[in-house]
Amino acid sequence: MTGFQNVVAAGLVAGAQIVTVSVGGLLLVGVMRKVRSHLEGRVGPPIHQPLLDVRKLFTKQRMHPEQASWVFGAGPVVLVATAVVVAVISPLATTRPPLGRSADFFAIVFVLLLGSVSLALGALDTGTPFGGMGSSRAMTIGALAEPALLVAILAMSIPAHTSNLPVLVRMGLAHPEMIASPARILALGSFVVIILAESGRLPIDNPSTHLELTMIHEAMVLEYAGPDLGLVTLGESMRLTLLLGLLVNLLVPWGVADRPGAVSIVIGLGALAGKVALAGIAIATFEVFTAKLRLFRVPELLAGGFVLAVLGAVTALVVR
Amino acid sequence: MSNVSLVITAAAGSIAAIAGGALPAKTRVWAAVVLTWGSCIAALVGALAVLHTGQSSVLNSSQILPLTGVTMVLDPLGAVFVVVTAVVAIASTLYWLGYASHGLSTRTASAALPLFVTSMLLVPAAASVATFLVLWELMALASLMLVLVDQRRREETRSAAQWYAVMTHVGAAAILFALVLLSAHAGDQTFAAIRVHAHHLPTAVRNTAFVLAVLGFGSKAGAVPLHVWLPKAHPEAPSPVSALMSGAMVNLGIYGIVLVGDRLLGGGPVWWWLMVTALGVVSALFGALHAATSTDLKRLLAYSTADNMGLVLIGVGASGMFAASGHRAIASIAMVAALLLTVNHAAFKGSLFLSAGSVQVATGTRDLDRLGGLMRRMPITGAVFMVGALSIAALPPFNGFVGEWLLFQSLLHGLPTSSTAVAIAVPVGVAALALTGGLTAVAFVKAIGVGFLGRPRSEEAAAAHEVPRTMQMGAGMLAGLCVVLGLVPVIVLPALGRAAASAVPGTPATTLSGSVDLHLAGLQGVLAPALLAAGLALATGAVIALRQLARRRFTPQPALRRAEPWGSGRELQTARMQYTATSFAEPLERVFDDVVRPDRDLDVSHVSESRYYVEKVTYWTSIGDLIEQNVYRPVISAVHWWGQRARALQNGSVHRYLAYGLVALVVILAVIT
Amino acid sequence: MNGPAYASTLELMSGVILVCAAVTLWRRSLSAVVKALAIQGFALGAVALILGIRQHDAVLIVVACLVMASKGVVIPTLLGRVVASDPSSREATPIVNVPASLVGAAALTFLAYGATQPVVALIPTTAGRLVPLGFATLLIGFFSMVVRRKAISQIVGLLLVDNGIALVAFLATAGVPLLVELGASLDVLLAVVVLRVLAAQMWSKFGVLDLDQLRELRD
Amino acid sequence: MTIRSVLQALIHPHTATNDLGAAPAAAVGVRHTLGGSLQLRHVDAGSCNGCELEIASAFGPAYDAERFGARLVASPRHADALVVTGPVTKNMVGPLKKTFEAMPEPRMVIAVGDCARDCGVFKGGYGVAGAVADIVPVDVQVPGCPPRPEVIIQALRGLTGR
């Protein structure tokens, strides 16, 4: 293939992954709401309801607090932009994503961190008590989740001798026993805890609370309206989808396209959608039967995640 | 030609100092600054030449210093530190031009600042014990004078200066012992001779020398528990001086450890470097935690200096451990990571301290709880601080990210091939790196969000407006460097590779390659920071475009409405209801209660009529430095106690003094016979 | 069974044992802790079973079944009864708070890894490499006995220690003799029964199962 | 479908899918159709909480207004319509105005219950400032004291168009 064709192909793959993550992310939220309402004995909104909500939000008026600076408006934009970048470079549908060679797990974590930092700054720019409360809590939890995350990455990277995500996924395809290795499983276990914390799900944060004092993530976005809020909703759903996508691809990589070609990519997208949907349903079911932790019990949960990651690292060292 | 540049550096620096001391107030500052620039540029040229060719430049002269003479060798490792110092110095002296009207135009200051800069430029070139120690002391004294500039206005400055003086001289003593010990065994005081004899030294000597050096240089680098002077002196010093101390001087502590450990002693056993790594881990965590919980802007920056130096020490220690277990390539990658972290830290911490100084000039306070809303009032300074903060939080596409990525990669790849002790140390290092990263993000989200965003919390902050151009330019220069280094780190990496090769004996010079991509030689680790940044920019543009396009379908008027922030329909909403820096850090403070030990006090007073009506609630909290309280205070009080006892000996009576003399004489005679 | 499958299942089971040990420090609700203990018992049995199948050692397989029966079923059921009988069956205030004790567990794991390297060097088998995990389980057991207040937690800690020893024994010396293992298990079983009685008596006497209350026995 | 029926049989005895008929024509004064998505912010301007109970049950398992795309949200910034109950008491005039001002265009006000429409039995009370329409422009009125959940849902569907 010529260079031009390569570029076109890469562009197509990138586009496919972006569309899947953005639209699919909103649908994922819809699915999770549907599961919740079923378990609560309700019919619940249709699965495409989040799409309708976002479409409407984009047609509404933007509102900024009087004293806010450009940072307030930049928050949601950067949130979505980081999610888009991660959607392009991470191995979701194929193990050969554009820029895949530099799709380092470490890099992806810090790109996502940029998104959450920008949202936290936007929240502080509102000049309201709620904004500060939300961003303080979110940043604290993020800071405590960080060690677990990086040690988990380390534990997964020791056997593979690299922290490059496509390679990690490909290794899972090549050597299934590497997935069953306790290092990988423990690391992914702590990764699950981190996903719950980072994406503000129960038991860390209640996404459907109306009481400001119990809010973590919701308190940061109370001030956003119209398109800004639409971007926040979009960005958050994309982040959840990305994290779950990475999780499932590291846990059950089968279906991911390992060779170029439209057909395998399409299969990969389908497999991704199926796996992520299952993960989402699992989380939603778990949420129905779980109560929110007290804010100061959250460190216990994250410390547990950290210990899982450390045990993973040690087992990786033991069996190396 | 580069030894010529050393001479020019020294000459221009001394002339600058004299000019600053002699000239009248109007021309003083300008003359000193311009001459200092000359000295910096000369040093820059020489150092770049050394880095480009890889050839060290030598300068020997027996006239300048009596008895010993001066020996100077600028090798790639030293050249890196010279370049860093020169760049930071140019930026902060430029800033000084605008800042001078705020108490820095005195003769002392104008004389001391060039002296400080020049001595820092020459320390990495010193190649004999005497030269090194003289320049080191010169640097210490000049910086001490500069810390004391503000003493007339603030009395805290004096105690800070005392702490700084004591710590820096204890450190200097340790360094003196270490170097003298080595030169004594080598029989010659030039570094070259010491290096030759290093391997025939008895182990005890090597160990003593290294430990002493780590203590001495560690105290200069602000390594916990030797950091106590740092959070006192850096905030109290005038901001350009803080920038110089934090951006250039602390680096020389790192340089010293590498110099003694790797260059002079040619590496050592694993436990040396485990010690350094442990020092780094403790400093990183302790510094980051205190940065996240402190509410004084410059104190926050000072603690985060301790934190960043901790990361650098982790890199240095890892490099040493890998070299000791025989993995030269990875050792040199770790050393490159450490050097890159140093360069980055100089860039962003310099810009942060300078813009913090601008905030202090504009509002008259450093207390975050009294700031706010500055982003609209001081847009340039705000943007500069934002860039620095995002870089220090290791967020792409800025330079801090590349450094921490490199450190993580070196740890990751060093792990599987290393011995048990190292294999235990490395995951701990990674965990420390991660927790530090998270806490730093908290600290600087707090610094920006409380200091620059939201609504002003005091009249001073409300009345603030932008500072003079030169100050903006000085800070902006370094912020620009943060961006450049973040996008194309490859412009410095080859030089750093050579420096690492000259530092860690027997390592390949080119461990990192690539123009856009950043490859680790022979390892699976690639990063394309420029592409990542381009992707982010592209995505941001696309998202904004999407937002605008979507709005066209139906546009309510006005498309963007500014309104009172939503406060649950509350009638009255004041700026004091915002989260302050204290409340922002409160959850973290609780989580790490055992480490930071905040002392809180809640005082509720009721109205006289009925105890059911609260009149006033006073909440008071402060966080002291645990190590200062539990380690240094006891020592100080003990010394004080002995001082009191000693006073009993002398009550002014001549007879008693004569009696002491007689007793002493008798004792001596008794001993002799 | 073939090489990689054998290795990975063995690693997996040992990993499960270690994680269960960590979970006992993680969770406050004692019922969850007891569940973790049961899982650990089964995993231990599974390790013995795998080794037995691998080495075609009938005795070891018998031992495996016994381990599963005693440590996976009997002991947890007994403890479960005690927990059920105690309405306040939570580690409300451990002596060391949960995050700290978890970090401590992590540190102990590293310590175990470092300390057992010489042993591992002696046993160059797939199983031998996993000895550190058993040792870590042992240390975490001791640790949880130190930092927890409830009588049940003490029993659990003891059982963790025992499981750790058993795991090390299995991995290091391809299985202990049947009698030894039987003796150990019965020994522990006895201890559990005694402690269960003691706990029941404490419950009737003080209405709590908090070891700090035992001080009152002194006067 | 089967999961749903099973779970409902398990969790909620009587079926939630009692059909409320087709969506009515858009209610009076609606300036803009929201494409099947309606975020609501509820303000109790001084109600006796009878209407609150009915609203709660309208969003409960039995009536489940959420399946028509209506949802109660935590901030007026997120809301398309304001659900106001009760006569507006003097102390609630300010907060009600602020809440209305805090909503982005296009915005609507739904007055739920007789009190909200014309102060009901509280008319002329010394603490009552007036009906909702006297304070903020009302687009949709829901009669009844308290209005039945079906009626509330009818009004909401008039806005969501589903």
* pLDDT band, very low/low/confident/very high, at D12 (cuts 50, 70, 90): very low
* pLDDT average, residue stretch B456-461: 91
Whether A46 contacts chain D with CB within 8 A? yes
Judge D/C contact: 3 or more CB pairs < 8 A: no
For the cut 50, the answer to whether the pLDDT of residue A197 exceeds it is yes
Cα–Cα distance between C87 and C207 in angstroms, integer? 10
Contact between B450 and B579 under an 8 Å Cβ cutoff? The reply is yes
- Select the more confidently predicted residue: A86 or C152: A86
Q: Return the pLDDT at C197.
A: 64
Indicate the number of domains in chain B.
2
Interior angle at CA B123, CA B118 and CA B127, nearest 5: 135
* Interface probe, candidates C9, C10, C11, chain A, greatest A C-beta count within 10 A: C11
Q: Return the pLDDT at A71.
A: 94
**Which CATH number among 3.40.50.12280, 3.60.21.10, 2.40.10.120, 3.30.450.20 corresponds to the domain D35-160?**
3.40.50.12280
* pLDDT average, residue stretch A213-238: 91
- Using CB atoms and an 8 Å cut-off, which of residues 524-563 of chain B contact chain A? 524-528, 531-532, 535-536, 539-540, 542-544, 547, 550-551, 553-554, 556, 558-563
Q: Return the pLDDT at D11.
A: 47
The identity of residue B167, as a single letter, is: M
Burial category of C53 from C-beta neighbours within 10 Å (exposed 0-12, middle 13-18, buried 19 and up) = middle
Q: How far is D125 from chain A (nearest CA, A)?
A: 31
Q: Which residues pair with C150 in a beta bridge?
A: C210
* Interface probe, candidates D67, D68, D98, D157, chain A, greatest A C-beta count within 10 A: D67
Range of the domain at A310: 3-318
Q: For residue B35, which of B153, B104, B99, B115 has the smallest C-alpha distance?
A: B115
Q: Return the pLDDT at D25.
A: 47
SS3 B115: helix
Q: Return the pLDDT at B355.
A: 94
* pLDDT average, residue stretch D95-113: 92
Q: How far is D45 from chain B (nearest CA, A)?
A: 12
Q: Residue B608: CB partners within 8 Å, gap ≥ 6? A: none
Touching subunits of A (3+ CB pairs, under 8 Å) are B, C, D
Cα–Cα distance between B378 and B397 in angstroms, integer? 24
Which of A94-98, A102-106, B344-348, B596-600 has the highest mean predicted lDDT (pLDDT)? B344-348
* pLDDT average, residue stretch A83-95: 91
* pLDDT band, very low/low/confident/very high, at D30 (cuts 50, 70, 90): very low
- Chain B residues near residue A59 by CB distance under 8 angstroms: 550-551, 553-554
Distance from CA of residue A251 to its chain's centroid? 15
* pLDDT band, very low/low/confident/very high, at C62 (cuts 50, 70, 90): confident
Q: Return the pLDDT at C126.
A: 78
Contact between C185 and C67 under an 8 Å Cβ cutoff? The reply is yes
* pLDDT band, very low/low/confident/very high, at D27 (cuts 50, 70, 90): very low
How many percent of chain A have pLDDT more than 90?
46
For the cut 60, the answer to whether the pLDDT of residue D20 exceeds it is no
* pLDDT average, residue stretch B186-199: 85
Whether B601 contacts chain C with CB within 8 A? no
Q: Return the pLDDT at A297.
A: 85
CB atoms under 10 Å from CB of B612, counted, come to 7
- Select the more confidently predicted residue: B350 or B494: B350
Quick check: bond before B598 cis, omega within 30?
Answer: no
Cα–Cα distance between D55 and B584 in angstroms, integer? 37
> Do B365 and B498 share a domain, yes or no?
yes
> Do B404 and B288 share a domain, yes or no?
yes
Q: CB C114 to CB B421 under 8 A?
A: yes
For the cut 80, the answer to whether the pLDDT of residue B151 exceeds it is no
Q: Residue B266: CB partners within 8 Å, gap ≥ 6? A: B195, B198, B199, B505
pLDDT in tens, B362-395: 998 999 999 989 999 999 999 999 999 999 999 9
Chain B residues in contact with chain D using a Cβ-Cβ cutoff of 8 Å: 554, 556-557, 561, 563-564, 566, 569-571
For the cut 80, the answer to whether the pLDDT of residue B309 exceeds it is yes
For the cut 80, the answer to whether the pLDDT of residue B153 exceeds it is no
For the cut 70, the answer to whether the pLDDT of residue C1 exceeds it is no
Gyration radius of chain D's alpha carbons? 16
HEC profile for chain A?
A: CCHHHHHHHHHHHHHHHHHHHHHHHHHHHHHHHHHHHHHCCCCCCCCCHHHHHHHHHHCCCEEEECCCCHHHHHHHHHHHHHHHHHHHHCCCCECCCCCHHHCEHHHHHHHHHHHHHHHHHHHHHCCCHHHHHHHHHHHHHHHHHHHHHHHHHHHHHHHHCCCEHHHHHHHHHHCHHHHHCHHHHHHHHHHHHHHHHHCCCCCCCCCCCCCHHHCCHHHHHCCCCHHHHHHHHHHHHHHHHHHHHHHHHHHCCCCCECCCCHHHHHHHHHHHHHHHHHHHHHHHHHHHCCCCCCHHHHHHHHHHHHHHHHHHHHHHHHCC
Q: Return the pLDDT at C72.
A: 86
* pLDDT band, very low/low/confident/very high, at D109 (cuts 50, 70, 90): very high
The structure tokens 């010293």 sit at B256
Q: CB C110 to CB B428 under 8 A?
A: yes
Whether C29 contacts chain B with CB within 8 A? no
Q: What is the ipTM of this complex?
A: 0.87
pLDDT in tens, B14-25: 888 888 888 887
For the cut 70, the answer to whether the pLDDT of residue C127 exceeds it is yes
Q: Return the pLDDT at C198.
A: 66
* pLDDT band, very low/low/confident/very high, at D29 (cuts 50, 70, 90): very low
The structure tokens 């490909």 sit at A170
For the cut 90, the answer to whether the pLDDT of residue A216 exceeds it is no
Average pLDDT along chain C = 79
Element (H, E) at D42: strand D38-44
Q: Return the pLDDT at B544.
A: 92
Q: CB B427 to CB C100 under 8 A?
A: no
Q: Return the pLDDT at C216.
A: 58
Q: Which two tokens mark D81?
A: 């319509």
Q: CB D77 to CB A223 under 8 A?
A: yes
Range of the domain at B593: 269-545+581-597
Contact between A140 and B442 under an 8 Å Cβ cutoff? The reply is yes
> What letter does residue C128 receive in the DSSP assignment?
G
* Interchain CB contacts (distance < 8 Å): B and D: 28
Q: Of C12, C16, C99, which is closest to A299 when you measure between CB atoms?
A: C99
Q: Return the pLDDT at A114.
A: 94
Residue B263 lies in a domain: no
Q: Which two tokens mark B1?
A: 């030609």
How many percent of chain A have pLDDT more than 70?
99
* pLDDT band, very low/low/confident/very high, at B1 (cuts 50, 70, 90): very low
Q: Return the pLDDT at B419.
A: 77
pLDDT in tens, B409-425: 988 888 766 677 888 88
Burial category of C11 from C-beta neighbours within 10 Å (exposed 0-12, middle 13-18, buried 19 and up) = buried
pLDDT in tens, C169-190: 888 775 556 556 666 666 666 6
Q: Which residues pair with B602 in a beta bridge?
A: B619
Q: CB B543 to CB A320 under 8 A?
A: no
> Do B424 and B498 share a domain, yes or no?
yes
Whether A225 contacts chain D with CB within 8 A? yes
Q: Of C16, C19, C103, which is closest to A308 when you measure between CB atoms?
A: C19
For the cut 90, the answer to whether the pLDDT of residue B605 exceeds it is no
* Interface probe, candidates D6, D52, D75, D83, chain A, greatest A C-beta count within 10 A: D75
Q: Which two tokens mark A98?
A: 């554009």
Whether D3 contacts chain A with CB within 8 A? yes
pLDDT in tens, A23-69: 999 999 999 999 999 998 888 899 999 999 998 898 888 899 988 99
> Do B345 and B484 share a domain, yes or no?
yes
What chain D residue is nearest to A35 in terms of C-alpha separation?
Answer: D4
- Chain C residues near residue A304 by CB distance under 8 angstroms: 22, 26, 102
Cα–Cα distance between C61 and C55 in angstroms, integer? 10
Q: Which two tokens mark B300?
A: 């926050």
Q: How far is B553 from chain D (nearest CA, A)?
A: 13
pLDDT in tens, A235-263: 999 999 999 999 999 988 888 888 878 88
Q: Of A123, A127, A162, which is closest to B455 when you measure between CB atoms?
A: A127
For the cut 90, the answer to whether the pLDDT of residue A95 exceeds it is no
For the cut 80, the answer to whether the pLDDT of residue B448 exceeds it is yes
> Do B486 and B347 share a domain, yes or no?
yes
Q: Return the pLDDT at B53.
A: 80
* pLDDT band, very low/low/confident/very high, at B66 (cuts 50, 70, 90): low
Query: What separation in angstroms does the CA of A123 have from each of A134, A223, B374, B486?
Result: 7, 8, 16, 26
Q: CB B591 to CB A299 under 8 A?
A: yes
How many percent of chain B have pLDDT more than 70?
94
pLDDT in tens, B611-668: 888 888 888 888 888 888 888 888 888 888 888 887 776 666 667 777 777 788 788 7
Average pLDDT along chain A = 89
- Chain D residues near residue A32 by CB distance under 8 angstroms: none
Q: For residue A57, which of D106, D69, B560, B568 has the smallest C-alpha distance?
A: D106
Q: Return the pLDDT at C85.
A: 75
Q: Return the pLDDT at B284.
A: 94
Sketch the domain layout of chain D as residue ranges. 35-160
Q: CB B420 to CB C117 under 8 A?
A: yes
Q: Return the pLDDT at C190.
A: 65
For the cut 50, the answer to whether the pLDDT of residue B163 exceeds it is yes
Q: What is the pTM of this model?
A: 0.90
